[in-house]
Structure 1
């Protein structure tokens, strides 16, 4: 059995009928299962009312930063659950990271997470980083939140970051795309039922096409360049493709990578999966390249 097959078997064996509280505990346990490297420095901070933390490795640049928005369907996930991924993306990019513990639904439905993301971006700016020194990164719902943040920054008249890198973005809360059908048996993590449940938790009675919750429906013109990673076997494959198309039609620079045989946010499992390590390294390289390109354009 290959490492990918072992990992997929492990994911499929996880219990599915869990309460939100149980699921949150499971995410926290993931933080214990995947410990930080010994050279990662962590500093807790308050980002204008939002719990957050800096992480950095010895080679991190002092003048570049990643604002990281974790996944978990807007309902689960935390600083702890994603710390091992955040810190290694920062290492690969040679940048400091600021991860946000934004408020979760259903206790804090839309637009609380987006409001917190804006606070985090303001905090980074007030910490001495110019917009062209900032990259926004997120996974799954956090990637959708990152895309929505770019739109919201435009609405507020704030400068765009250098780029946004999105792992397996969830950007269409209708959960009706064809990849849900095609990859129903291939994706060991997501399903249409799970995503429809999460959309209800986050949006309640609001339309699923609400642009700042489903940014594939937003006016994307003028937002920062996008870098998108998605797995070929995941239910959200069509979300990534639709976002690429919508951004392209809005004259936004987009770099899309579809990784064969990979499932939803496979870089999370970089400690167990070679392709996860490759994706983290590749993401870091692309972030550095985007920063350099933005710096040269200023």
Structure 2
């Protein structure tokens, strides 16, 4: 199994983070956030994409505005980082590349983060942004919820919340390496432990603890989207790396969604790390994935 030399950039970044966390297990949340903001490094700057900062539904956000995009269509992007780290800024290039590939705009939410704001603050912020976009005249079926890792959880859980609230649902959902199972039951947590350069059980346990706080059950259906019925869910595209420990979450989601009638796609790229589309613009594996997603989106 041969991966591109460009894709090594992400693995080496993750290994560096792992080494730094291992060397100093008592890093403060502020130090962790500073480190994880390096997540913006792997993606190259997308050409002909502008950005503007703002607020949507009271939530701080960055808009990605590709030249020539259909401005009636918008991605609502929720960044990864275990609900506690990562930011709109660390993920703006990755979201910009996707928006450009789909020929739409994107709003990257800087939602409230744990531990200061545990579950369900993150979903509440996604709901506020979605409702604000609806009030501004965006049509639900022209919106897409997208996220990576913990943000992939939010991209899915927010739609389940929209359903609970009786809101019209978005036209599609895209999840990069979603972290869904707060109970950490996936088989690849063990079988891929040696190949994933960043994500292991200890870091997931720490992040889950901050996200769930003292009150939330790890099987709460909005914290753990796998504990849901997906009947009537929008078309779903899941991208994951073959080397990552959270692969089981993507596989379980795909199996459950398709069993319940969802038009779902699961793309697993061999040898790739967690959230490999972070390499957008740099590595062929990420660029080829963007092309597949664009073809899928155009076929809806």
Same fold (TM over 0.5): yes
Shift of residue 126, structure 1, vs aligned partner:
2.0
Alignment RMSD (CA, Å): 1.8
Contact 1:143/1:168 (8 A) holds in 2: yes
Shift of residue 246, structure 1, vs aligned partner:
1.9
Partner of 2:16: 13
Assess, with a 3 A threshold, how the Cα gap between structure 1 residues 275 and 32 changes in structure 2: closer, same or farther. Answer: closer
Q: 1:243 aligns with which of 234, 241, 253?
A: 253
Name the TM-score, length of structure 2 as normaliser.
0.91
Q: CA–CA distance in 2 between the matches of 1:197 and 1:90?
A: 32
Partner of 1:185: 194
Contact 1:268/1:276 (8 A) holds in 2: yes
Q: CA–CA distance in 2 between the matches of 1:70 and 1:99?
A: 7
Assess, with a 3 A threshold, how the Cα gap between structure 1 residues 201 and 256 changes in structure 2: closer, same or farther. Answer: same
Q: CA–CA distance in 1 between the matches of 2:67 and 2:38?
A: 27
Partner of 2:284: 274
Name the TM-score, length of structure 1 as normaliser.
0.92
Assess, with a 3 A threshold, how the Cα gap between structure 1 residues 133 and 180 changes in structure 2: closer, same or farther. Answer: same
Q: CA–CA distance in 2 between the matches of 1:7 and 1:248?
A: 31
- CA deviation digits over 1:26-50, x for unaligned, max 9? 2334446756345322122221211
- Unaligned runs of at least 5 residues, structure 2: none
Partner of 2:263: 253
Partner of 2:5: 2
Partner of 1:149: 158
- CA deviation digits over 1:171-203, x for unaligned, max 9? 101112110100001011211111111110000
Q: CA–CA distance in 2 between the matches of 1:227 and 1:31?
A: 23
- The total of aligned residue pairs comes to 290
Assess, with a 3 A threshold, how the Cα gap between structure 1 residues 272 and 32 changes in structure 2: closer, same or farther. Answer: closer
Contact 1:92/1:285 (8 A) holds in 2: no
Shift of residue 270, structure 1, vs aligned partner:
2.2
Q: 1:161 aligns with which of 166, 170, 175?
A: 170
Assess, with a 3 A threshold, how the Cα gap between structure 1 residues 34 and 262 changes in structure 2: closer, same or farther. Answer: closer
Relative to structure 2, which stretch is displaced further, 114-123 or 250-259? 250-259
Partner of 1:224: 234
Matched ranges for 1:74-93 at <5 A:
74-93=83-102
Partner of 1:53: 62
- Unaligned runs of at least 5 residues, structure 1: 291-298
Q: CA–CA distance in 2 between the matches of 1:247 and 1:211?
A: 15
